[in-house]
A and B are shown apart, each in its own frame.
Chain A
């Protein structure tokens, strides 16, 4: 198995176009969290023509709803949540320059099309590997929507955060292609 690719956001188009479905990636640097409620607020702001509380250009959003934080820890267990619930919102954010999303499970054709058109990728973190993932998160700070509690937008500093490219900007899909490759007919 090939060596993992190291990525540090903010990502440029050049960083993203070279990624292929199936690549292992380790992310080091800053990523943002967001799930259902935060996505809805961001997209509502865009529709009203108002500025977003964070600049999405080149950034990665992680779909996650962690367990409560123990004293002295940056965060609780923080594995990926199912991504399809964000499908309605992701294309608008990709259009704003979002370069990566981390979650689990398949994305809609609209999201895949937006990733091809605006050059973005979708990464899978391993669903249920939440304790391992949390160890790679060094700090966490709420940057928007504190009132949403566990759904607030947080800025995470991560080191060697392990993900796999599922959808690249050429329209490949590892969920589909991987299953086909290993299916016994």
Chain B
């Protein structure tokens, strides 16, 4: 049994909240550069260049890359041989988020659904726990922007819609979202499970590094076909027309009920922010 203190967890979460807002991942930068190479629209190229310059400025640590620094979504893989000491692990994570958003001058973007009263400290963050073998803890934090989250959907397709129906649904969703989710976007697709599991799979799909295909060759092929179809829609960078509408499509799949075919599409913007820490 290994002991981990809540203090270690708070510190790690705080650091990730800060870094996610200021440091764009290398995989996203590389994907933007690949987009720039292929983009034929002059406006589209101008937009991608602005995004790359924006990432450089954000990295200096004074201005977060986007003013919507997001709702923090935290995934925890907790080793079953870990003993957490020093208090409530849930609170420890919320504290990390609270401190990171305050110290990093990040926008507090969480409110009461009816009154719209801001909670003032960007909590509660959304927490997802999974118990895994071993004595380590892996924590991943994603800062999820509202503009792109609003364009996401879960759909219970009919089993007869099949693979083609899934692909059409994903492409249609991106088309309807148009310029609103700040393209170039990253598309997370969750197939199977139940209503809520499909949504979670789609969100987890967004955590996979851009440019890394699914290990299942059938899904890898689906990802590249979807990316191709989405980039033919013409929406382009910032929605102003072009060939770089999505940087990647990541699909995750699991078995579902014999009567169902759940599909979730979780759209993320180019401010594709997530950080990972192992304790």
User: What residue in chain B is nearest A183 (Cβ atoms)?
Assistant: B234
In the complex, the answer to whether A104 meets B66 with C-beta atoms within 8 Å is no
Q: How far is the CA of A128 from the CA of B236 in the complex (A)?
A: 15
Q: Is the CB of B105 within 8 A of A164?
A: no
Binds B, one of A52-60, A65-73, A153-161: A65-73
How many chain A residues sit at the interface, stated as a range, is 35 or more
For the complex formed, measure the closest distance between the CB of B231 and the CB atoms of chain A, giving whole angstroms: 8
**How far is it, in angstroms, between the C-alpha of A126 and the C-alpha of B44 when the chains are bound?**
11
**Most chain-B Cβ atoms within 10 A of its Cβ — which of A69, A162, A179?**
A179
Whether B107 pairs with A132 at a CB distance below 8 angstroms is no
How does the 8 Å CB contact mask read for A121-150 relative to B, with 1 for contact and 0 for none?
A: 000101111111011000000000000001
Tally of chain B residues near chain A (CB < 8 A)? 46
Mask for A70-108, Cβ within 8 A of B = 1, else 0? 100100111101101000000000000000000011100
B270 proximity list for chain A (CB < 8 A): 128
A175 to chain B, nearest CB (A): 5
Query: Within 8 Å CB of B46, what residues of A?
Result: 1, 24, 164
Asked if residues A179 and B233 are in contact (CB atoms below 8 Å), the reply is yes
A22 to B240, CA, bound (A): 8
Given A67-B64, A67-B69, A77-B64, A104-B105 contact (CB < 8 Å) = no
* Cβ contact within 8 Å between A105 and B179: yes
Assess the B64–A175 pair: CB atoms within 8 A. Answer: no
Contact B240 A124 (CB under 8 A): yes
> Which B211-256 residues sit within 8 Å CB-CB of chain A?
232-243
Q: How far is the CB of A66 from chain B (nearest CB, A)?
A: 5
Name the residue on A nearest B105 (C-beta).
A68
Q: Which residue of B lies closest to A21 (CB)?
A: B240
Given the interface pairs A135-B57, A179-B233, the reply to whether A66 lies near B67 with Cβ below 8 Å is yes
A104 to chain B, nearest CB (A): 7
Given contacts A130-B67, A131-B58, A132-B50, contact A104 B238 (CB under 8 A): yes
What is the interface of chain B mostly: helix, strand, loop, or mixed?
A: loop
Contact between B234 and A179 (Cβ–Cβ < 8 Å)? yes
Contact of A132 among B53, B180, B243 (CB under 8 A): B53
B65 within 8 A of A: yes
Task: From B51, B232, B239, give the contact of A105 (CB < 8 A).
Answer: B239
Among the stretches B35-43, B152-160, B161-169, the one at the interface with A is B35-43
Instruction: Indicate if B26 sits at the interface (CB-CB under 8 A).
Output: no
Beta-carbon contact of B236 and A178 below 8 Å: yes
Residues of B within 8 A of A79 (CB): 66-68
CB–CB B50/A175 < 8 A:
no
Q: Are B47 and A181 in contact (CB under 8 A)?
A: no
A96 to B136, alpha carbons, bound, how many Å?
Answer: 62
Known: A127-B147, A178-B41, A179-B178. A134 touches B240 (CB 8 A): no
- Can you report 22 A-B residue pairs in the complex whose CB atoms are below 8 A from each other? A1-B45, A65-B107, A68-B106, A77-B63, A77-B64, A79-B67, A104-B239, A105-B180, A106-B178, A124-B240, A128-B51, A128-B145, A128-B182, A129-B47, A130-B54, A132-B57, A164-B240, A174-B241, A179-B234, A181-B234, A183-B234, A184-B232
A residues sitting closer than 8 Å to B (CB atoms) are: 1, 22, 24, 64-70, 73, 76-79, 81-82, 84, 104-106, 124, 126-132, 134-135, 150, 162, 164, 166, 174-175, 177-184
- Across the A-B interface, give the 10 residue pairs with the lowest CB-CB distance, nearest first: A178-B241, A183-B234, A131-B63, A182-B234, A127-B182, A184-B232, A1-B42, A132-B54, A131-B57, A131-B58
Measured CB to CB, the residues of B under 8 A from A are 40-47, 50-51, 53-54, 57-58, 62-69, 105-107, 145, 147, 178-180, 182, 232-243, 269-271
